[in-house]
Structure 1
Amino acid sequence: MSEPIVGLSAYREDATYGVWSQRTDLLCAEYASAVERSGGVSMLLPVQDPAHAAAVVDRIDALIIAGGADVDPATYGQPPHTETVRVRPDRDAWETALLDAADERGIPVLGICRGMQVMAVRAGGSLDQHVPDHLGTTTHSPGGAGYGDVEVITHPGTLAHNILGERTTVRCHHHQAVREHPGFDVSARADDGMLEAMERPGHDFHLAVQWHPEAGSDLRLFEALVEHASATRRRP
């Protein structure tokens, strides 16, 4: 059988390339590379009319909701923090629709950074809009394009623990975090108590992490996603 197709939600940003400077659908290549190195085939899912989500998801075997800009706090009933910037309501709506369709079809889902936050908000949860306000440190997002190296401890019996073991060091770049996550179990926390992974019980693979596995060399999350996609795929 052919390799499973993993859909990757994409950014919609102003970008400059060649002679062009215009609105562009894009995603850093690290995501697709991690999927491909893990045995899958990647497919970018650009922002579009949420009504098309079911047709798109019907053509993939697994879904990754990628990182990116802050989730619009209006979606979880909060006024914006002064540090909440560059919200993308169109992307919020598109990714929520993708998750709805993924639920309907029962395909494996992995949320990464912003993706974890979208998954929590979709479930009726909320976010802490600026982590340094609560922790008093920028460890989880050192600034600029830098990543914070954070050790996380997984909870026994969870999917995250089965994949990653008891402890692992991850690369973080998030100034926001999940506060409430109805319907999800905690999978991992950082040493400072920050929620770093969650998963939905009763699902073979419905996992979200606050860190950026695509930015490192550890492919275990992607390999597990591809393995589950291969085992549960319905396409011929």
Structure 2
Amino acid sequence: MRPVIGITCYVEPAAYTVWETPAALLPYDYVRQVERAGGQPVILPPAGDPVSVIGRLDGLILAGGGDVDPGRYAADPHPNTSYIRKFRDEAEFRLVRAALAAGMPLLGICRGMQVLNVALGGTLHQHVPDVVGHTGHSPAPGSYGRLPVRLAPELAKIYDAEEITPAHYHHQSIERLADGLVVTGTAEDGTIEAVDLNEHVRAVQWHPEVDEDGPLFDDFVARFRSARRGG
């Protein structure tokens, strides 16, 4: 049986066929990568009681999206902080806590890494260009940047490389690292690009879903299988 992997999603105005309406939506690359890696993707909208589905999932992916409400880490909003969806924050913070309590394999991507860090007590840089002096992590609306990331041995083994040049699209990043998280990937400018909590919980700041190959998704599904075996 394929492991059932829940993926959080956006709720935004959308246009398709003859309709323009609010929609629960997710870039299909997430779905494609999970299916390709051997998982059964299930999209989780921020509605109802998302925690109630934890017992039906084998793994959880926190997808990208808008900025986390800075009030969650006791900060005032930066002028460039945008697309805050408090209802999504509420749903995903509850999901993270429930998944961690259940020992569930978890993968955070972009916003997902920020949610994980803040849920565990960390804080965020609200506008990375103010910190690093360039816009390479998010060069233009709708355009990915390609910046090198140096990998710790845990990630280097997965990618079979000590350095990769993945797709970046983020203007926020980890400021104060939450207790328990370990940095496993760093950009040349010092931006934290990947963290691990334990052998089954990992998050990256880049967008692994947009590339053709997906070693991170392959490893995620393999980690689920290891957890099922109790290894």
**With structure 2 as the length reference, what TM-score do the two structures score?**
0.94
State the match for 2:206 in structure 1: 211
Aligned 8 A contact 1:149 1:171 in 2: yes
Would you say 1:117 and 2:117 are equivalent positions? Answer: no
For 1:131 and 1:149, locate their aligned partners in 2 and report how far apart those are by CA, in whole Å. 15
Following superposition, the deviation at residue 208 of structure 1 comes to 0.5
Amino acid at match of 1:101: A
- Identify which of 53, 58, 61 aligns with 2:58: 61
Would you say 1:181 and 2:177 are equivalent positions? Answer: yes
Q: How many residues align structurally?
A: 227
**Could you give the per-residue CA deviations for residues 147-171 of structure 1, whole angstroms, max 9, x where no partner exists?**
1111111123xx3233123111110
Counterpart mapping for 1:215-226 below 5 A: 215-226=210-221
Following superposition, the deviation at residue 68 of structure 1 comes to 0.6
State the match for 1:9 in structure 2: 8
- Identify which of 152, 155, 164 aligns with 1:160: 155
Would you say 1:134 and 2:131 are equivalent positions? Answer: yes
For 2:92 and 2:202, locate their aligned partners in 1 and report how far apart those are by CA, in whole Å. 15
For 1:153 and 1:194, locate their aligned partners in 2 and report how far apart those are by CA, in whole Å. 11
Amino acid at match of 1:184: L
State the match for 1:89 in structure 2: 86
For 2:146 and 2:68, locate their aligned partners in 1 and report how far apart those are by CA, in whole Å. 23
Aligned 8 A contact 1:107 1:233 in 2: no
Please give the secondary structure, in 1, of the residue aligned with 2:175.
strand
Would you say 1:30 and 2:25 are equivalent positions? Answer: no
Aligned 8 A contact 1:53 1:101 in 2: no
For 1:117 and 1:193, locate their aligned partners in 2 and report how far apart those are by CA, in whole Å. 16
**Could you give the per-residue CA deviations for residues 214-236 of structure 1, whole angstroms, max 9, x where no partner exists?**
011231000000111122238xx
Amino acid at match of 2:99: A
**With structure 1 as the length reference, what TM-score do the two structures score?**
0.92
- Identify which of 120, 144, 149 aligns with 1:147: 144
- Identify which of 156, 165, 170 aligns with 1:169: 165
Aligned 8 A contact 1:161 1:187 in 2: no
State the match for 1:104 in structure 2: 101
**Could you give the per-residue CA deviations for residues 90-113 of structure 1, whole angstroms, max 9, x where no partner exists?**
111111111111112211110000
Would you say 1:197 and 2:194 are equivalent positions? Answer: yes
Gaps of 5+ in 1: none
Aligned 8 A contact 1:70 1:86 in 2: yes
Amino acid at match of 2:207: H
Instruction: Give me the CA root mean square deviation.
Output: 1.3
For 1:61 and 1:16, locate their aligned partners in 2 and report how far apart those are by CA, in whole Å. 32
For 1:168 and 1:210, locate their aligned partners in 2 and report how far apart those are by CA, in whole Å. 13
For 1:103 and 1:95, locate their aligned partners in 2 and report how far apart those are by CA, in whole Å. 12
